[in-house]
Amino acid sequence: MTSLNLMKVLTAAALLWLGTFSSQPLQAQPALLQNAPGRSVLSLNGSWNYIIDPYENGFYDYRREAFDQSKSGKGGYYDNAKPSSKQEEELIEYDFDKSQAMQIPGDWNSQRPELLYYEGTIWYKKSFALAPKPGKRYFLYFGAINYEAHIYLNGKKLGMHKGGFTPIQYDITEQLSASGDNFVVVKADNTRRPEEVPTINTDWWNYGGITRDVFIAETPATYISDYKVQLAKGDANTVAGYVQLAGEGRANQAVTLNIGEAGLKQTVKTDGEGRATFSVPAKKLARWSPQSPRLYAVSLTSSSDVVQDRIGFRLIETRGQDILLNGRSLYMRGISIHDENPLIPGRARGEGDLRMLLTWAKELGCNYVRLAHYPHNETMLKLADEMGLLVWAEVPVYWTIAWENPATYQNAEQQLTDLISMGKNRASVVVWSVGNETPLGEPRLKFMSSLAKKARALDDTRLISAALELHRTPDNVVHVDDPLGEFLDLTSFNEYAGWYWGGKPGEITKYTFDIKYNKPVMVSEFGGDALAGYHGDANTRWSEEYQEALYVNQLKMLSTIPGLRGMTPWILADFRATRRQHPVYQNGFNRKGLISSTGQRKKAFYVLQEYYRQMAQKYDGK
Ligand code: GCB
């Protein structure tokens, strides 16, 4: 055997032995700047010119060779070419500045009727003035672009990113023009593909484009790139974490953690790689909880940089079938939410839309939200911190994806890593979910358990879960025994009795549950469609009365589960879903919302509100 072959065998054996996938990220996404929106920023939100390019003429030449892979690297729309004075000599078949514009952040589907169903490429261009100052670094930051984004600055490619819901960031210090005149071009492509995450089949609208904030963050040359400031695992009396300096001169620097309002201060020294850990007694810190969402002003100061954040401190753990928040047993009164404003409808565009959704959840009596089925906006996590809502945060590993494709796994793991990076300082976030309704099978178990282990390795201070499926036997027993459950802290499952199976709402109380794990039970979904304003009796599908009866009977049925510690029924508000085709009742909407697409509360809203009032009384004494 040649040494090369021996190496290959050994590597394969090592991978087998690990029983997991390689964790090398496919896309070289550098570590994200922690709390990038909290930096000094130049916003690039607003009007961006765009070109619809279904044939990708701006990316490939007529032989289908990518311009940005050619020798000159030129020829694509990212050149933002302009005819010179000798116009007649040049052929340029596009012009961003004479093209239409749309608002960013914002999906394209809800901004132009002709783009409602569009799946393909759209190019965006924004010019901006920024003369780089000496001794500073500049990071171009996109909150999210769905799905595949090629990003160029002043005609040069910065990189490609896949994943529609996680931030994208490039250090552009060296690419900014000295004159201060710059332009950024983005090729956004929301084409669905089987090997991507999510895959081609989902129950939500495939909103395309630059859907979250765009800005340039400025830092000093040596800067605080990352930090974690949280209570130590299982220890309410210690604040622990780390700080990471980047840039030249990051080694052997003093960094001071200061939580002035709690009289807490510690100075630590970075190692050769710019990293320092700290651990500070924290007896005087008030605990964060939904009833009392106390946040502290936290600062980290080095000789060249200072970052500020508002952070809450709480412990989340499980013991047997209990979920303990700061040591006290908790019932999680939740609701599932999509990142969508049903009133536009379209992707939530910023703080106003997000605050509206969370205010609705509070009106329902929630202390908890499930941010389905993909990472939501960083602002959503900050609002949840501020408003006192616990959060389940999830990656779009949804239904049946390409379990055996290593690139698919690496993509999913990268999205999970970026989600955890974004949310790790938020007290509200208590659950990392690694997926939703994935089918039983060996390759899937390997994929999903690897993700669960990765989540735990990245953050062992929160609970790990996934929304599982169940199966039934003819004796009306519902079984929850998915082997993935072994790797999770909560037994969470989606259950659609009274809608997809189990007869009419009045018939479902005959079911009982057989749950394999001695862990807290979280019903991550149940529900049924109702068209607001359509009335009938409790057996009339699509009527508000049917949905109301379904909620009444679901709550009766679920109360028989001894370990039930919370739920997130499906869903707060009606949302757009391409697969929902009924011309009268659905019209392109999933109507399982408790609130309609015009903001109307349906009858079932009040059923859940009353149940949550009782649960709050039982668990919180109010
Ligand atoms: C589910 C999915 C969710 C769907 C919902 C439905 O189980 O997790 O994404 O929208 O059912 O309405 O069918």
Express each pLDDT in 74-124 by its tens digit: 999 999 999 877 666 789 999 999 999 999 999 999 999 999 999 999 999
pLDDT at 284: 87
Ligand 1 centre and the CA of 581: distance in Å? 15
Closest ligand 1 atom, residue 524 Cα: 8
The residue out of 314, 331, 351 marking a domain boundary is 314
Counting ligand 1 atoms within 8 A of each CB, the residue from 397, 436, 525 with the most, and so the one to mutate, is: 525
**Domain containing residue 390: CATH number:** 3.20.20.80
Instruction: Classify 383 as helix, strand or coil.
Output: helix
Closest ligand 1 atom, residue 398 Cα: 8
Ligand 1 centre and the CA of 567: distance in Å? 15
The residue out of 220, 251, 280 marking a domain boundary is 220
pLDDT at 622: 64
The verdict on 176 and 267 lying in the same domain is: no
Q: Region 508-533: what's the mean pLDDT?
A: 98
In a domain? residue 388? yes
The verdict on 299 and 341 lying in the same domain is: no
Counting ligand 1 atoms within 8 A of each CB, the residue from 554, 570, 585 with the most, and so the one to mutate, is: 570
* Ligand 1 pocket member 338 (CB < 6 A): no
The verdict on 512 and 615 lying in the same domain is: yes
Helix 378-387 to helix 351-363 angle (10° resolution) is 40
Q: Region 354-376: what's the mean pLDDT?
A: 98
**Domain containing residue 76: CATH number:** 2.60.120.260
From residue 141, give the alpha-carbon distance in Å to each of 144, 188, 217, 245. 9, 15, 7, 19
Ligand 1 centre and the CA of 511: distance in Å? 21
Average pLDDT over the chain, rounded to an integer = 94
Q: Region 329-357: what's the mean pLDDT?
A: 97
* Ligand 1 pocket member 436 (CB < 6 A): yes
pLDDT > 80? residue 240 = yes
* Ligand 1 pocket member 570 (CB < 6 A): yes
Ligand 1 centre and the CA of 339: distance in Å? 15
Ligand 1 centre and the CA of 203: distance in Å? 6
The verdict on 298 and 348 lying in the same domain is: no
pLDDT > 80? residue 334 = yes
Residues 165-185 pLDDT 10s? 999 999 999 999 999 999 999
pLDDT at 621: 85
In a domain? residue 17? no
The verdict on 377 and 504 lying in the same domain is: yes
Whether the CA torsion 304, 308, 312, 316 is positive or negative: it is negative
The verdict on 425 and 483 lying in the same domain is: yes
CB 466 within 8 A of CB 522: no
The verdict on 272 and 401 lying in the same domain is: no
The verdict on 194 and 240 lying in the same domain is: no
Residues 114-149 pLDDT 10s? 999 999 999 999 999 999 999 999 999 999 999 999
Phi-psi region of 136 (alpha: psi -120 to 50; beta: other; left: phi over 0): beta
Counting ligand 1 atoms within 8 A of each CB, the residue from 203, 399, 585 with the most, and so the one to mutate, is: 203
Amino acid symbol at 600:
Q
CB 145 within 8 A of CB 211: yes
Evaluate if pTM is beyond 0.75: yes
**Residue 590, domain extent:** 318-620
